[in-house]
Amino acid sequence: MKSGSVALSLVAILSCAQANADPANDLWVKGRYEDAIKQGVAENTAVGLTVAARAAVAEMMAHTPPCPSCIDRAETLARKALAADPKEVSATLCLNAALGYRSRIIGPFATHSEGLDVTMKQSLEDSLAAHPGNARLIALLGNWDFEAIRAGGSLLARLSFGATMDGGLEKYDEALKLAPNDILINYMYGLGLAAYDPDQYRDKIVAAWKRVVAAPSADAYDDFQKERARDLLALFTGNNKDAFDTRLKSDMGIAK
């Protein structure tokens, strides 16, 4: 099973890192995402707006099929957070989440013609330059390689962007050395490999999702990812390919 265009967003919510403790973040931790959005917007600070963006992305990711208005809200809040702090890691990753979902809807050709692919990669590289060694940024750049190959094929991805599976795997290896038990990184690593070639990368997928299931939760979104990883792992190791494929596409927001 090889999937077509899969949003970078899958991996990006991913990376909305924890903000400093504040009322909006307290609501995020509890999974009260709509309240977190309202509180973060009311605070109107870089931290508050970043939490609001994170909550909006969480709501966006929960919708299958994708919800256009949810994507618009997540992108708007991420851009506001970046306006307040242009190199903020969480806001950068939330922006990539929203643009990735938009990319999935409009398709690879429109994505490239509108420059979304270049915008996403450049924003990640700029943020990484400001925050060298950030595991989640590195992982998302690895996912960018995976996505370029899924969307355009290995030859076009390599010639147009220098993207290769080996390059993506190397970035994930680096990220996992820095944060071996990070729930977001392991969850998206399994998703990315499963969407590309679940047979070839079976051992890596199983190991990644087992780490997700075993890791302690820090917030409600961790619980959400752990539940999804547990369900996917059961279907995958149970060799129920049709059910696994259906669930994978649903969890990733891929249209049937």
Q: Is 1 part of any domain?
A: no
Q: 248 in a domain, yes or no?
A: yes
| CA-only gyration radius of the chain, Å | 17
Q: What is the structure's pLDDT at 64?
A: 79
Query: What is the predicted pLDDT for the residue at 3?
Result: 42
Type of residue numbered 90: S
Residues near 56 by beta carbon (within 8 Å), at least 6 away in sequence: 33, 37, 70, 73, 74, 77, 78, 94
Nearest-angstrom CA–CA distance, 77 and 91: 8
The answer to whether position 216 is within a domain reads yes
Give 2 or 77, the one with higher predicted confidence: 77
For residue 84, tell me if it sits in a domain.
yes
Q: Which stretch, 59-63, 202-206, 242-246, has highest mean pLDDT? A: 202-206
pLDDT at 91: 95
Average pLDDT over residues 94-114: 84
Residues 6 or more apart whose Cβ sits within 8 Å of residue 136: 14, 15, 17, 89, 93, 175, 179, 182, 184, 185
Q: What is the pLDDT of residue 201?
A: 96
The answer to the question of residue 3 being in a domain is no
Instruction: Using alpha carbons, list the distances in angstroms from residue 61 to 146, 208, 249.
Output: 19, 20, 12
pLDDT of residue 140: 93
Q: How many domains does the chain have?
A: 1
CB 60 within 8 A of CB 66: yes
CA distance 67 to 191: 20
The percentage of residues in the chain with a pLDDT greater than 90, rounded to a whole number, is 62
Q: What is the mean pLDDT of residues 56-74?
A: 91
Q: Classify residue 86 as exposed, middle or buried by CB count within 10 Å of its CB (0-12, 13-18, 19+).
A: middle
Position 63 confidence tier, pLDDT thresholds 50, 70, 90: confident
Average pLDDT rounded to a whole number, residues 41-64: 94
CATH number of the domain encompassing residue 230: 1.25.40.10
152-204 pLDDT per residue, tens: 777 766 766 777 899 999 999 999 999 999 999 999 999 999 988 999 999 99
| Pair 32, 51: CB distance under 8 Å | no
- What pLDDT score does 2 carry? 45
Q: 230: domain range?
A: 9-252
